[in-house]
Structure 1
Amino acid sequence: MRKTEASKDLPAVVFVVDDDISMRDALTDLFLSMNLNVEAFETPAAFLERARSDRHGCILLDVRLPGLNGLDFQSHLDRIGNQMPIVFMTGFGDVPMSVKAMKAGAIDFLIKPFKDQDILDAVAVALKRDLARRRRSSEMKAVQELMRSLTPRERETMLAVAKGLMNKQIAHQLGISEVTVKLHRGSVMRKLNVRSVADLVRMVELLNEDRDSPAP
């Protein structure tokens, strides 16, 4: 198997999973020519054993594989929490299979033989989506860390402010004075390092989105 050397200078990796060695080699050459890191695997098991799923990248996955097929592997990755975007490849124009893959979150479903530009375009979309996902995840972790610095009362005040309640309303709701509400608001803004209520609302929305997201 040919692949680039792991490098921190090349954050994006295209993981190719296809049992056809000629296809693996052709795709490897194509991505290397575009200065992309690429790692190729014959089976899903080989990918799970050797690939670093924490890397920024995407998976180029053949549907027809011996043993665990591509769609089953997609479901398995979802169950173990691997959210790397997937581009499917197949030599068969199976429309129901394509629909199922796309509904499960696949970026694209390409029928072999495909044009080089088609696969490059699909991979570009996948890498862009993965980068956005990783940035959002990093942002979420930072927000969660800041939230841990709040006291229970400060958190209650924050949620009330995010709902658009005035100090007087928050004081009534929490059974405290308006002066105390103002103190809590100021403390919340400092601890969360935000300068406006709009920024505070965005943080709360991020937390709500994370809470409402289905568990892997």
Structure 2
Amino acid sequence: MINTLPFLKDAVVYLVDDDPAIRDSLSFLFMSRQMRAVSFESGEDLLAALPLESFGCIILDMRMGGLSGLETFSRLKAVGSKAPVIFLTGHGDVPVAVEALKTGAADFIEKPFNDNLLVDTVVDCLKSHFGLMSEDRERAVFESRLQLLSAREVDVLRLLMAGLLNKQIADALSISMRTVEVHRARVLSKMQARNAVELAATLASHGIELPG
């Protein structure tokens, strides 16, 4: 099943635990599923390795010497890390892990854990993370296309998105219908949209508001 998920080929599972036996067993577990694993014996070592590769998931033990899992997580957030974090917790840490979920942790697994459950949780987190990264890339590409528009083309686009017809746009901007048609065609070409409806849908899906 895992081999059929192409987004996993570049994924890295970062294992952070101060118990070498757990690091070794988890490394073997993920390598046995054809997933790359990199281990750290402390939160400090993980933070020292920043920035991490762009696509990965962090498995973070809640209780460690030095920085705790929660402290490490807070510092990861502070530096803008977007990698999903899964906590490994003991029974007494569950309430803390639940609070961590409210502040952005992806999930938590209670010890002793089932290997398949842990791997499935990691795969689900990576799948969600990949989707978010794809959305970010698409938005960045779309915004770069917006930067190609001239000021007048942005004016035309704004009125077009407001539902105005070409004649209404021409009147509003005090330009000819033909000029509106030319600007409209250039807008669609630069934005790589087939029509105004498709362009409006893309703007809405990315939550982009036009300037002005």
Deviation at 1:113, TM superposition (A): 0.6
Is 1:146 equivalent to 2:145 in the alignment? yes
Is 1:208 equivalent to 2:203 in the alignment? no
Match of 2:45 in 1: 46
Deviation at 1:122, TM superposition (A): 0.6
Match of 2:134 in 1: 135
CA 159–75 in structure 1, closer or farther in 2 if over 3 Å, else same: farther
Match of 2:24 in 1: 25
Q: Secondary structure at the match of 1:208?
A: coil
Indicate if the aligned counterparts of 1:87 and 1:109 stay in contact, CA closer than 8 A.
yes
Deviation at 1:209, TM superposition (A): 5.3
Is 1:194 equivalent to 2:193 in the alignment? yes
Q: What whole-Å deviation, never above 9, does each CA across 1:30-62 have from its counterpart, x for those lacking one?
A: 000000000011112211223552331111111
Alignment of 1:75-114 (within 5 A): 75-114=74-113
- Point out the more displaced range, 171-180 or 76-85: 171-180
Q: What whole-Å deviation, never above 9, does each CA across 1:107-128 have from its counterpart, x for those lacking one?
A: 2111111100110111011110
Quote the Cα distance in structure 2 between the aligned partners of 1:193 and 1:160. 18
Q: Secondary structure at the match of 1:93?
A: helix
Q: How many residues align?
A: 203
Q: Which amino acid aligns with 1:123?
A: V
- Point out the more displaced range, 140-149 or 42-51: 42-51
Quote the Cα distance in structure 2 between the aligned partners of 1:128 and 1:114. 21
Q: Secondary structure at the match of 2:58?
A: strand
Match of 1:61 in 2: 60
Indicate if the aligned counterparts of 1:16 and 1:60 stay in contact, CA closer than 8 A.
yes
Q: Secondary structure at the match of 1:113?
A: coil
Indicate if the aligned counterparts of 2:42 and 2:64 stay in contact, CA closer than 8 A.
yes
Quote the Cα distance in structure 1 between the aligned partners of 2:173 and 2:61. 57
Residue segments in structure 2 that go unaligned for 5+ positions in a row: 1-7
CA 66–166 in structure 1, closer or farther in 2 if over 3 Å, else same: farther
Residue segments in structure 1 that go unaligned for 5+ positions in a row: 1-8, 212-216
CA 45–202 in structure 1, closer or farther in 2 if over 3 Å, else same: farther
Q: Secondary structure at the match of 1:59?
A: strand
Q: Secondary structure at the match of 2:207?
A: helix
CA 160–35 in structure 1, closer or farther in 2 if over 3 Å, else same: same
Is 1:171 equivalent to 2:154 in the alignment? no
Normalising by structure 2, we get a TM-score of 0.85
Q: Secondary structure at the match of 1:126?
A: helix
Q: Secondary structure at the match of 1:83?
A: coil
Q: Secondary structure at the match of 2:91?
A: coil
- Point out the more displaced range, 47-56 or 111-120: 47-56
Identity of aligned residues (%): 36
